[in-house]
Amino acid sequence: MKKITPLLPLFRQFIKDSENGKRLKKNGEKIKKGTIANYQYTYNNLTLFCQKKNVDLRICDYSKLTKRERLSEKNYWKKFYKKFTDFLYKKGCYDNYVGANIKHIRTFFNWLSIDQGLSTGSYHQLFYVRKEKVEILVLSPDQLKYLIHDKDFHNSLTTAEQCIKDAFVFGCTTGLRFSDLFNLTNKNFELQYDNIYLKSRSQKTKTESSIKLPDYAIEIYSKYKPRRKNGKVFKPISLFVFNRTLKQIGKKANFDRPIGVTREKLGTPKNKEVSNLKFYDKMSSHMMRRTAITTLLILGMPEHLVRKISGHSPSSPSFNRYVNYAQVYVDREIDKVHAQLVMD
């Protein structure tokens, strides 16, 4: 008879070990809080799946199964994958979210085998992790220029909005992620031959960068420069409030170009039904890094130098998406110029 072990308590232990440092990354670093939060989301989905489908997920000792039982176990996990992903899709989830849940489950099974010494077989390797290419939304050079230089618009904003707009512009210039941007201190700024450089180390990738700041970015730094050496340049704010305020700023700036949203389910494009969706509705902290990279590419900086600033590897798929986007933008602008040369 198969010896079975309930799965959900093991998943809770997996999360707990990730939190307390018993489980580490391959390089020995602790698991980030954001990653642990994502594990919790997957656990919540598994729990809800069990409740809705009235099932009790379990694992078996693969080493003690007969050939027939191993085939039965393979079918069990194939059915789980199909039913669980169908469950998430019916909740309204798309490929990226579903794929992330499956990726976490695969990581959990690897933990069972490597850290816990449990023989579970390799059935989890059959779980396909889907990914979708979500459209890149960035500020155009004209939009960024407007936020940088239009004094009347700046003065029309509230004090809180002005602070967030300045931080956003700084992020769109340097390509910093939200967490890195709001951890900047005076130590990150260095004077070299009358130029100020921003020196930072990404919390996510651990890559270091040194960027010469333009005059408007220096003005922003000078405006918020803390008195203490370790003081934060930008006042800490929650990501939710930051993104909500960005949308308000974008609306006031009339960044109201209608946009369509296409997401994928099972690799098939689905037009998301959102009425009157405007560009400002999609403004968020993610736009800072994307805008910085695409702006540098659009304005002609060589790709290898942009990668040095962004920390991408030469073969990075995400960086190639930025390159393709920048080329499409340049082609579109060229078409506008050529259209003016056409005879009436």
Q: What is the pLDDT of residues 95-126, one digit of tens each?
A: 999 999 999 999 999 999 999 999 999 999 99
* pLDDT, the chain, mean: 90
Beta bridge partners of 195: 192
CB atoms within 10 A of CB 89: 15
DSSP for 317-328, please give it: HHHHHHHHHHHH
First-to-last CA distance in the chain? 84
Q: What is the pLDDT of residues 10-31, one digit of tens each?
A: 999 999 999 999 999 888 889 9
Q: What is the pLDDT of residues 40-94, one digit of tens each?
A: 999 999 999 999 999 999 999 999 999 999 999 999 999 999 999 999 999 999 9
Half-sphere exposure of residue 61, counting CA atoms within 13 Å on the CB side?
Answer: 7
Q: What percent of the chain has pLDDT over 70?
A: 95
In what helix (H) or strand (E) does residue 192 lie, and over which residues does it extend?
A: strand 189-192
Q: Which domains does the chain have, with CATH numbers?
A: 4-126 (no CATH), 141-339 (1.10.443.10)
Q: What type of residue sits at position 14?
A: F
pTM, 2 dp: 0.74
pLDDT at residue 342 in the model = 67
Query: How do beta strands 268-271 and 262-265 pair?
Result: antiparallel
